[in-house]
């Protein structure tokens, strides 16, 4: 029988009429119409019960687990207000606001996808990775300049960001007109939040020394008994938290171009408050950073002259930044000029160069060459 000459509904009606005439058996009719006996009897039973022969929906008549329309609207409104937030953050914020009947984070994500509010390609970028964090607040701060961006008036903005490693709390966002004045900016953070035990930064010239020498920034941190740490060169994963923070800032706070530097300061200040106080963080059990962070008990102070132990071997750095003792000549930095350093014997024919409570270099006592200049606390 030429199926293509009739519609599916016409074929089904023809099958029922032929069966009612009784000229052929049901089995023969099923073979003729190219259907199974089960399908043939299904159409015959529907016809006897007066039902239509069209395909019926397999969806259940009731969906008790379906999300209420007003709840979907809350989820969509939250996504509209915070385009970078996914299902987990939206669920956490709505529940913390006292909203009832919020579905699982997965369902929230499915609702966003159904309404075209999540790009599948963006979802694929979020791959699992191994997290690490310091045990306590203020054990480590991460700091970095976000890449500069153009403002509406043609000038450029250089935001300096400081993040607590343990709590992800944003200590400071300082939009600047240039990548300078680091010490002045971080002093404000120290006065407000106290001192961390260590600070992790990249190898930018503001933080890491020229020609291998020590910067004023590094010396100043050691004067405050703060360990300066630098990430591996060409390895931004070392500062993964602050790098991720920069991406979040770009997605949530810099979707539009600020008109000028003052506008950027206000915009980023407002967003910093929302990030710390409202925005849930998955690594914190969906708590906002402000619920976890505690200020440091170490208060800021003006550095004082350091007293080495009696009998310590001290050598003065000359005006050109060189330390000379015996046949050894070691360049440190002009920032160290007129400063006394301690020379201590080390392991395996080495000398250790000590500044305050920090070892800043190790020298081979036989070949008189520098072995390393890694700063570490004693």
CATH (domain of 285): 3.30.420.10
Highest mean pLDDT, choosing among 40-49, 116-125, 241-250, 263-272: 263-272
Q: Are residues 220 and 174 in the same domain?
A: yes
Q: What is the pLDDT of residues 218-235, one digit of tens each?
A: 999 999 999 999 866 544
Contacts of 352 (CB under 8 A, 6+ apart): 343, 344, 345, 346, 359, 361, 362, 363
The answer to pTM > 0.85 is no
Please give the Cα distance from 359 to 375 (Å, whole number). Answer: 6
Q: Are residues 104 and 152 in the same domain?
A: no
Residue 162 lies in a domain: yes
CB of 95 within 8 A of CB of 101?
Answer: no
Mean pLDDT value of segment 242-259? 88
Domain of residue 84: give its range. Answer: 69-125
Residue 300 lies in a domain: no
Strand partners, 281: 287
Q: Are residues 279 and 207 in the same domain?
A: yes
Torsions phi, psi for 361 (to 5 deg): -165, 155
Q: Are residues 230 and 115 in the same domain?
A: no
Considering only residues 142 and 126, tell me which one the structure prediction assigns the higher pLDDT.
142
Q: Are residues 109 and 195 in the same domain?
A: no
Average pLDDT, the chain: 83
Residue 359 lies in a domain: yes
Domain count within the chain: 4
Q: Are residues 94 and 199 in the same domain?
A: no
Look at residue 332 and tell me whether its pLDDT is greater than 60. Answer: yes
Domain boundary among 260, 291, 322: 291
Q: Are residues 187 and 276 in the same domain?
A: yes
Please give the Cα distance from 209 to 332 (Å, whole number). Answer: 9
Q: Are residues 89 and 148 in the same domain?
A: no
Q: Are residues 165 and 73 in the same domain?
A: no
Look at residue 348 and tell me whether its pLDDT is greater than 60. Answer: yes
Tracing tokens 């999540």 back to the chain, one arrives at 118
Q: Are residues 145 and 287 in the same domain?
A: yes
Residue 298 lies in a domain: no
Tracing tokens 């509904």 back to the chain, one arrives at 9
Considering only residues 204 and 144, tell me which one the structure prediction assigns the higher pLDDT.
144
Supply 86's token pair. 């996914």
The 8 Å CB, 24+ separation contacts for 168-171 are 168/241, 168/245, 168/281, 168/283, 168/284, 168/289, 168/292, 169/137, 169/276, 169/289, 169/290, 169/292, 169/293, 170/245, 170/272, 170/275, 170/276, 170/289, 171/141
Mean pLDDT value of segment 309-325? 93
Three-state DSSP string of the chain: CCHHHCCHHHHHHHHHHHHHHCCCCHHHHHHHHCCCHHHHHHHHHHHHCCCCCCCCCCCCCCCCCCCCHHHHHHHHHHHHHCCCCCHHHHHHHHHHCCCCCCCCHHHHHHHHHHCCCCCHHHHHHCCCCCCCCCCCCCCCEEEEECCCEECCCCCEEEEEEEEECCCCCEEEEEEECCCCCHHHHHHHHHHHHCCCCEEEECCCCCCCCHHHCCCHHHHHHHHCCCEEEECCCCCHHHHHHHHHHHHHHHHHCCCCCCCCHHHHHHHHHHHHHHHHHCCCEHHHCCECHHHCCCCCCCCCCCCCCCCCCCCCCEEECCCCCEEEECCEEEECCHHHCCCEEEEEECCCCEEEEEECCEEEEEEECCCCCEEECCCEEC
Tracing tokens 């505690």 back to the chain, one arrives at 294
Q: What is the pLDDT of residues 157-202, one digit of tens each?
A: 989 999 999 999 999 999 988 877 889 889 999 999 999 999 998 7
Q: Are residues 276 and 186 in the same domain?
A: yes
Q: Are residues 76 and 15 in the same domain?
A: no
């Amino acid at each position: 029988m030429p199926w293509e000459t009739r519609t599916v509904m016409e074929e089904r009606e023809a099958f029922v009429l032929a069966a009612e005439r009784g000229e052929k058996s049901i089995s023969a009719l099923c073979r003729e119409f190219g259907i199974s006996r089960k399908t043939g009897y299904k159409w015959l039973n529907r016809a006897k019960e007066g039902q239509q022969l069209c395909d019926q929906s397999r969806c259940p008549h009731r969906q008790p687990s379906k999300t209420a329309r007003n709840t979907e609207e809350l989820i969509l409104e939250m996504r509209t207000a915070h385009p970078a937030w996914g299902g987990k953050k939206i669920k956490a914020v709505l529940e913390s606001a006292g909203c009832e009947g919020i579905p699982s984070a997965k369902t929230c994500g499915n609702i966003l996808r159904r309404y075209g509010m999540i790009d599948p390609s963006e979802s694929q970028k979020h791959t699992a990775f191994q997290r690490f964090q310091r045990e306590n607040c203020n054990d480590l701060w991460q700091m970095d300049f976000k890449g500069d961006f153009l403002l509406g008036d043609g000038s450029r903005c250089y935001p300096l960001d400081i993040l607590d490693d343990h709590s992800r709390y944003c200590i400071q966002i300082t939009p600047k007109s240039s990548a300078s004045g680091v010490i002045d900016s971080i002093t404000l953070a120290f006065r407000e939040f106290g001192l961390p035990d260590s600070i992790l930064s990249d190898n930018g010239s503001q933080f890491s020394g020229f020609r291998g020498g020590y910067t004023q920034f590094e010396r100043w941190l050691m004067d405050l008994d703060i360990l300066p740490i630098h990430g591996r060169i060409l390895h931004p994963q070392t500062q993964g938290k602050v790098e991720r923070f920069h991406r979040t800032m770009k997605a949530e706070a810099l979707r539009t171009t600020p008109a000028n530097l003052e506008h950027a300061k206000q915009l980023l200040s407002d967003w910093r408050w929302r990030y710390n106080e409202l925005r849930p963080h998955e690594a914190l059990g969906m708590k906002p950073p402000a619920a976890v962070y505690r200020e440091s008990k170490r208060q800021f102070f003006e550095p004082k002259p350091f007293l080495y132990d009696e009998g310590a071997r001290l050598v003065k750095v000359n005006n050109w930044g060189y330390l000379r003792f015996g046949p050894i000549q070691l360049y440190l930095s002009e920032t160290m000029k007129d400063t006394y350093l301690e020379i201590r014997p080390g392991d395996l024919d080495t000398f250790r160069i000590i500044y305050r409570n920090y070892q800043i270099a190790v020298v081979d006592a036989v070949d008189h060459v520098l072995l390393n200049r890694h700063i570490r606390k004693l």
